[in-house]
Amino acid sequence: MSYLDKIDKAALPKHVAIIMDGNGRWAIQRRMPRLQGHRNAVKAVRACVEASAELGLQVLTLYAFSTENWQRPRKEVSALMDLFFEFLEKELHTMLDNNVRFQLIGNREGLPDFLQNRLSHTLDSTAANTGLLLNLALNYGGRDEMVRAVRRIAESVKKGDLLPENIDESLVSANTYTAGQPDPDLIIRTSGELRLSNFLIWQAAYAEFYFTEVLWPDFTKEDLYKALLEFQHRKRRMGRTTDSGSMTEAANVSHLVSKTEVTSILKTSG
């Protein structure tokens, strides 16, 4: 029986987010230029978009380019911008065929004009679609997102439109890039790294994390199904507990868990 056959379609996460990591290492292992790893990653993106749409997920967020990635060599950054343009141009039919609505999360103004124009075209072309919402995180950073949200809220206070005591979690969420969307239930990171890397730091408060050694260009639909199945086997308490004694017990022993043990637990989850 395949992983897909084991998945409970009635208990799927609403929002899956993926840190697509390992493109460079994939290329280096094969003695190829790093850019070839990024090019080969497109098929993994296509597979995940198609699988997510077929399963009926509400939101899929893909972390493609962070605010820190500008520090990479200029040649690589330039090639990535061209690749994003090419991806949006060639994969538009995949989005349309699968009723996918596209959305950008990140600082659009920092991107090249030619890419901004292609983003606008993709947004407009898929705006009427009613299926999967695909968030592409470009020039995105979780801390940058929070700074921008705080600035917008502060401006409302400055204008007298908002009282400080009326600022709450829902207001902060309404000023993020993902306003109106469900928070991610599951965050997947490929390549074996055990970091969040400044990704959805506000929205990830109660997300489940799944780490896999698979490098992103090798990630398939089956790998996604495996992650979803693992998610369905976990108990999400969202800060609550069903055992009145477990909270006290956790408080008594939590300080005994070492960094090594935590890392071991995280690796086991992948």
Which residues participate in the annotated binding site for Mg(2+)? Answer: 21, 208
Can you say whether residue 191 is alpha, beta or left, with left for phi > 0 and alpha for psi between -120 and 50 degrees?
left
Rounded to whole angstroms, the Cα distance separating 218 from 40 reads 8
Is 40 an active-site residue?
A: no
What three-state secondary structure class fits 117?
helix
Is 8 an active-site residue?
A: no
The overall longest dimension of the chain from CA atoms, in Å, is: 61
What three-state secondary structure class fits 45?
helix
Q: Contact, 80 vs 99, CB < 8 A?
A: no
- Residue ranges of the annotated binding site for substrate are 22-26, 34, 38, 66-68, 70, 72, 189, 195-197
Active-site annotation holder among 69, 107, 129, 198: 69
Active-site annotation holder among 5, 8, 21, 161: 21
What φ, ψ does residue 68 adopt, rounded to 5°? -80, -20
What φ, ψ does residue 189 adopt, rounded to 5°? -125, 130
Residues with a known catalytic role: 21, 69
